[in-house]
Structure 1
Amino acid sequence: MPEGEFVARERSGPTLAHLVLATRLKTLREAAGLTRQHAADALGAHPVTVRRIEQAQTSLDEGQVRALLRAYGSPVAEIDEFLGKLATANLPGWWHPWRAAMDPWQLDLMSVESAASMIRAWEPALVPALLRTRAYARAVDDALRPDLSPADKDARTELLMKRQERLHAQQTRIWAVMSATALHTRVGGDDVMAEQMAALHAAVDGPDVTLQIHPLDGPPHALTGTPAITVYRVEAPEIPDRVVREGGPAGSADVWDVSATVTDYRLLLDYSCAIALHPDKSKEALP
């Protein structure tokens, strides 16, 4: 896959408004015909500092932003408007209360998820996270995340429930494909599994969830052997789509925002979905 990993910004994570403003700064610099070195000279800093600002990998400081806008020739009215938006953008995101229990890569994804029009997911062995019940999600963390405290597991479960609630409210479409292995992997007790299967039935009956299943006796497909994948589609032109590939040590993931990489994974999902059971047949396959 092409390089271009999206590096975590800081422990609080950027808001969507912050991402938009950071991208806007890059656009204004390029429109002014200035390099990052020119911008760095205006700040008395290294070009790496400008790169981090433009890629939303650090907070937007009012003094730095004002200096950059002046260097780019922005009029006073534009500077005042930008700084007004900056004050709002620097407010904590809604997920702020749960940040201590989140994996570092999740912090940068929350603002993107909150603005996503579609989320596509592949899950090789479990029910996709955004379709999990509270009990199932907690049982997964109990089994797979012994590094976390009970309090952190509770917080992560509560955050997942809030994410699902917000995505439903904003009518984000979720298109998930998973292996039938998940239907037979016993997570928690019988009651947990029964509740989870009932929740899947209810989800696919709604307008915002599409679920496809690869049967146990099906052929290999484009994502066979691939860890969990999530692709976030955002309508805001300033914000690139993201792809997340989970795997490796507990809590780790690769996150890319490079268009070619996102397209590669989107195509893999397309190929996989093309030979998975049709959504109607997948619904019939649910226990």
Structure 2
Amino acid sequence: MPPTNSPTLRQRRLGAELRKLRERSGLTATAAAGLLGVNQARISMIETGRTPISADRLRSMAHAYDCSDEQLIDALASMTGRRARGWWEEYRDHLPAALVDLAELEHHASGLRVALAMHIPALLQTTDHARALFRAVVPAMRQYEIEHRLAHRMKRQAILDREEPFPYEAIIHESALRMGFGGADVRRGQLKHLLDMSEVPYITVRVIPFDAEYYPSTGQSFDYVEGPVPQLDTVQLDTHHGGCGFLDAEAQLSKYRAVLDHMEACSLDPAESRSFIQNLVRDI
């Protein structure tokens, strides 16, 4: 398969996981190349995601690296081959690559947990609320940029309407629910939409009120995207310049899982959270 100069996040992750397996086996790239009958440059291209590989080649590599975790091998094998051209690819020339990669990451997720202090989760936003957010970005976006981002965000939400949806949990601080983006009517519509979505069986909405005993976070929003096996989980951080940062080191994943567990512990339960939001709607 010919190399690519712009590997996606998914392709880079596959390569990084193969590098981890090789390093755990104690093999250098040169030694691995000798075992597999390829040159060292080919190993490097695979590990940077620039050269797609087949599932059979991946299984050969895993065997050479003494990996016996069949679930992990199967999960990695499902990531092989050339880049699947999903709907998100049409935005690659119009949006930052990280936003396009995020849509692909969500598409392949098996579960999603998000935590937000100042914003409604992107997958639960109304069109009016999202448009108001994009209009508030500094520096200001041009109208066509707003429309590209808005269309991309709305298409991302389709993952919550699939025939076989994954579990989705949103932990939202009260401050995010009180933000007035777009004015009273937009805020009311957004909160009502949030209530409707919270009634969906596989969607859980939890609120952390101002009077919670503690708030185990710095206030930074993040998504915890669950992969087919825990080793392939990913944390996506919202950065101050509006981009996406992706973390996948074992220690980082463990940290953010613990943060989410603590945030869930200090939040209202789903029924209490719905009542809390209903009271906010009545007060608008």
TM-score scaled by structure 1?
0.75
Per-residue CA deviation, residues 139-178 of structure 1 (Å, 9 max, x unaligned), is 1111125353321221111111111112320412210111
2:235 corresponds, among 235, 238, 243, to: 243
SS in structure 1 of the partner of residue 99 of structure 2: helix
1:81 paired residue number:
none
Q: How does 1:107-118 map to 2 (within 5 A)?
A: 107-118=100-111
2:8 paired residue number:
13
Does the CA-based 8 Å contact 2:99-2:243 persist in structure 1?
no
User: Kindly tell me: are residues 24 and 120 of structure 1, through their superposed partners in 2, closer, same or farther at Cα, counting changes over 3 Å?
Assistant: closer
Alpha-carbon distance in structure 2 between the residues aligned to 1:118 and 1:31: 28
2:270 paired residue number:
279
Deviates more, 1:150-159 or 1:102-111: 102-111
Alpha-carbon distance in structure 2 between the residues aligned to 1:277 and 1:87: 41
Alpha-carbon distance in structure 2 between the residues aligned to 1:114 and 1:88: 17
Is residue 2:153 matched to residue 1:160?
Answer: yes
The code of the aligned residue for 1:209 comes to: I
2:185 paired residue number:
191
Per-residue CA deviation, residues 107-156 of structure 1 (Å, 9 max, x unaligned), is 33333211212111111111111111111111111112535332122111
Corresponding residue pairs, total: 255
Alpha-carbon distance in structure 2 between the residues aligned to 1:200 and 1:30: 45
User: Kindly tell me: are residues 220 and 21 of structure 1, through their superposed partners in 2, closer, same or farther at Cα, counting changes over 3 Å?
Assistant: closer
2:70 paired residue number:
none
| Identity within the alignment, % | 26
SS in structure 2 of the partner of residue 144 of structure 1: coil
User: Kindly tell me: are residues 217 and 87 of structure 1, through their superposed partners in 2, closer, same or farther at Cα, counting changes over 3 Å?
Assistant: closer
Per-residue CA deviation, residues 232-267 of structure 1 (Å, 9 max, x unaligned), is 011257x61001121222x23331111221111110
Deviates more, 1:156-165 or 1:103-112: 103-112
Instruction: State the 1:220 CA deviation.
Output: 2.6
Alpha-carbon distance in structure 2 between the residues aligned to 1:217 and 1:105: 35
1:257 paired residue number:
248
1:268 corresponds, among 259, 265, 268, to: 259
Does the CA-based 8 Å contact 1:116-1:233 persist in structure 2?
yes
Is residue 2:36 matched to residue 1:43?
Answer: no
Is residue 2:198 matched to residue 1:204?
Answer: yes
Instruction: State the 1:188 CA deviation.
Output: 0.7
Is residue 2:171 matched to residue 1:177?
Answer: yes
Does the CA-based 8 Å contact 2:52-2:82 persist in structure 1?
no
Could you say which structure has the greater relative contact order, defined with CA pairs below 8 angstroms and 6 or more residues apart?
Answer: 1
TM-score scaled by structure 2?
0.75
1:99 paired residue number:
92
Q: RMSD across aligned C-alpha pairs, in angstroms? A: 3.5
